[in-house]
Amino acid sequence: MSVLTLLLVVPAAAGLACLLTRSRRVLAALGVLAFGITLALGVCLLRQVLTGGAVTEWGEFLRADALSAWMVLLISTVSLATSLYAGRYFQRDLAAGAVTPGRVREFFVLTPLFAAGMFLVVLANSLGVMWAAVEATALSSVLLVALYNRRTSLEGAWKYVMLGSLGLALALLGTVFVYAAACKSNPRPLPSFNWSHLMTVAPQLDPRLIRLAFVFVLLGYGTKAGLAPMHTWLPDAHGEAPSPTSAMLSGVSLKVALYALLRFHILTTACLGSGFSGHLLLGLGLLSMFLAAPFILVQENLKRMLAYSSLEHVGLICVGIGLGTPVTIFGALLHMGYHALTKPVLFFAAGNIHQTFHTLEFRLIGHGVLKTLPVTVLCLGLAAVAATGLPPFGLFFSELTVISGGIAAGHTTVSVLVLGALIACFCGMLLQFTRILPGEPKGGRHHDGRAWDGVPAMGLLLGGLLLFSVWLPRPLLAVMQQAAGIIGGKS
């Protein structure tokens, strides 16, 4: 079997194998092993794409170009860190009686299946299969969000699945319109629904249908990507899911939905030859950034605040792509990568805080988390500095790339607006973290021998973030440039 097939088979097999065992150690080890393999396969795929262009398998059913290869790397990295973290996390949850062993196994079965669904989204060539895969990721993650079975987590899961399903129904309608356009331009029975084929006939497709299709797809996949104003499920689901799942949702799931949207954006731009879809992305991106800022400032719950911060970052990625110059698109892709390395660390640290203080409300956590959980807070602090866009971390450079690229292309107003939203979010995050991190802890709280929990996972991501912030290896740079070329329509 070759790379693309293995990328789908390995996590799916790991998930099913987890059904057979009861040992928590074996469950955790299987997850780590599977995602270690997919990361290696991702690197393999990267090499193949860079040397020989797009890779196809099963008669073009699976297809990976530079953009897919980049997404595969992100999914593998975040999933690997998640399974590294999840073992210890659930051990403590079990000890505290917060979950049953059955639920823990449910987590280890569903998480690899969730990841396999995401791999299928980025590897499927047919837009219809891509839709089915996005739906599969939504379904596999619903029960993960509801894992704790609390009233609030059931509410979060219900909103997630209902809004998600409605959104995806609209996305399916958009997908059907694209296929109708393909049928019209090519009445031969059953034209191909492959993205690569549609791109070759893009100028002949009916522009009215494609325009309508993009609006539906934007609403649909935009809901799944958490773009404002369809983002209302996002803080509920991220806040109520177990921390490892929040990390997966925020770190990659949002970006995978965005990837699906991007495929349609590329097709629409190639068909209409105008900035119609780009302008829509730009508008929604700006709206998301501006909506995130006030909600970060007033948020009382740590994980909900982190969810709004994800909204801000997804908004910035959309703005970068919407501006549509090679520099800003490159900046957006770079931002995707750095955000995938940063956000899971924040959620892992939030998980540690949750398990120590048994709450996520800032008011109830109180001051002095630094003294109670020094190592966790060190990681949290570093990741927070990175997420707010301060140097020396990569997010600073990617944000700068988008803003300066915007100014260079003459979009000064947009760039200034983006800068304003970024500063507002920065102030909000800073204020919120100063509420809990420094100071003297309330009486009777000192660290209880779990200081190093979760450090391997957080260390892996932060190490990667620091390394890639100062030194971007040539293959990564090349793959992002190629991906930016694909999005910019110069493949």
Shortest CB 282 distance to other proteins, Å: 26
Determine, following the binding rule CB under 8 A, whether residue 195 of this chain makes contact with other proteins. Answer: no
Determine, following the binding rule CB under 8 A, whether residue 159 of this chain makes contact with other proteins. Answer: yes
Nearer of residues 75 and 142 to other proteins, judged by Cβ: 142
Q: What is the DSSP letter of 63?
A: E
Q: Region of 104 please: left (phi>0), alpha (psi -120 to 50) or beta.
A: alpha
Determine, following the binding rule CB under 8 A, whether residue 119 of this chain makes contact with other proteins. Answer: no
> How far is the C-alpha of 307 from the C-alpha of 287, rounded, in Å?
16
- From the list 1, 19, 169, 451, which residue makes contact with other proteins (rule: CB under 8 A)? 169
Residue partners of 53: CB distance under 8 A and separation at least 6 = 65
Determine, following the binding rule CB under 8 A, whether residue 442 of this chain makes contact with other proteins. Answer: no
Shortest CB 229 distance to other proteins, Å: 15
Q: Which stretch binds other proteins (CB under 8 A): 30-38, 151-159, 251-259, 330-338?
A: 151-159
Count of residues in contact with other proteins, rule CB under 8 A:
52
Q: Which stretch binds other proteins (CB under 8 A): 24-32, 77-85, 173-181, 277-285?
A: 173-181
- Closest C-alpha among 11, 15, 4 to residue 68: 4
- From the list 173, 201, 378, 400, which residue makes contact with other proteins (rule: CB under 8 A)? 173
Q: What type of residue sits at position 34?
A: A
Nearer of residues 240 and 312 to other proteins, judged by Cβ: 240
Beta bridge partners of 56: 63
Q: What track of x and - describes contact with other proteins for positions 128 through 147 (by CB under 8 A)?
A: xx-xxx-xx--x--xx--x-
Cβ–Cβ < 8 Å for 121, 131: no
Shortest CB 239 distance to other proteins, Å: 7
Determine, following the binding rule CB under 8 A, whether residue 156 of this chain makes contact with other proteins. Answer: yes
Nearer of residues 161 and 289 to other proteins, judged by Cβ: 161
Give the three-class secondary structure for 194: strand
Determine, following the binding rule CB under 8 A, whether residue 184 of this chain makes contact with other proteins. Answer: yes
Torsion of CA 42, 464, 343, 319, to 10 degrees: -70
- How much is the CA Rg of the chain, to the nearest whole Å? 21
Nearer of residues 92 and 197 to other proteins, judged by Cβ: 197
Nearer of residues 4 and 142 to other proteins, judged by Cβ: 142
Considering only residues 198-227, where is the footprint of other proteins by CB under 8 A?
206, 208-209
Nearer of residues 128 and 459 to other proteins, judged by Cβ: 128
Considering only residues 229-288, where is the footprint of other proteins by CB under 8 A?
235-236, 239-240
Structure tokens at 138: 């939504």
Give the three-class secondary structure for 301: strand
Q: Distance between the two ends of the chain, CA-based, in angstroms?
A: 28
Cβ–Cβ < 8 Å for 252, 195: no
- From the list 166, 215, 287, 407, which residue makes contact with other proteins (rule: CB under 8 A)? 166
- From the list 16, 19, 96, 298, which residue makes contact with other proteins (rule: CB under 8 A)? 298
Nearer of residues 362 and 468 to other proteins, judged by Cβ: 362
> How far is the C-alpha of 490 from the C-alpha of 371, rounded, in Å?
53
Q: Which stretch binds other proteins (CB under 8 A): 38-46, 268-276, 296-304, 338-346?
A: 296-304
> How far is the C-alpha of 30 from the C-alpha of 319, rounded, in Å?
38
- Run of H or E including 303: helix 302-323
Residue partners of 339: CB distance under 8 A and separation at least 6 = 251, 255, 310, 313, 317, 387, 395
Shortest CB 435 distance to other proteins, Å: 17
Helices then strands (H, E): number in the chain?
Answer: 21, 2
Shortest CB 384 distance to other proteins, Å: 21
Structure tokens at 359: 């709450």
Structure tokens at 389: 């866009």
- From the list 36, 158, 185, 359, which residue makes contact with other proteins (rule: CB under 8 A)? 158
| Phi, psi angles (nearest 5°) of residue 27 | -55, -50
Residue ranges binding other proteins (CB under 8 A) = 61, 126, 128-129, 131-133, 135-136, 139, 142-143, 146, 149-152, 154-159, 161-162, 165-166, 169, 172-173, 176-177, 179-180, 183-184, 187, 189-190, 193, 206, 208-209, 235-236, 239-240, 295, 298-300, 304
